[in-house]
Amino acid sequence: MKLFQVLLVVLVLVLNLFMAFPSWAKTPSLVNDVDDFQVGQKVIWLYKARADFDEVHKIPAEVVKLSEKQVQIKIRKNNEFINRWVNPNKLEKFCQDKRKFKDCEENS
């Protein structure tokens, strides 16, 4: 009887792992240009104070680190620099001269 209970528990665990396996697969990023960001690049962070606000603040920032899903940026707040991990969907490339950067014309 005890062997039956152990086998049943193992069977349930294996079934759960089997059903969860597709979620382990690497999902493609929602942003195609995540690889376009580089450390040290100047960007604009599209910041919303709250999710239900319509107003979007454009905050100048600099890319510090890159990961698969997020980008760490450095921003100035109260005359100090702080780092924030943000979604790459919330970043725009910062271009001072559109003649030099062809990517800016595509994003504008």
Averages of pLDDT over runs of 10 residues in the chain (108 residues) are: 90 82 55 70 89 87 90 92 91 71 52
Report pLDDT for 16: 83
Residue written as token pair 């600099």: 62
Would residue 80 be called left, alpha or beta, if left means φ above 0 and alpha means ψ between -120 and 50 degrees?
Answer: beta
Q: Is 92 in contact with 74 (CB distance < 8 Å)?
A: no
Q: pLDDT digits over 61-88, tens only? A: 999 999 888 999 999 989 999 999 999 9
CATH number, domain with residue 55: 2.30.30.140
**78 within a domain of the structure (yes/no):** yes
Report pLDDT for 95: 74
Report pLDDT for 24: 58
**Structural domain span for residue 68:** 34-95
Here the tokens at position 73 are 């940026």
**106 within a domain of the structure (yes/no):** no
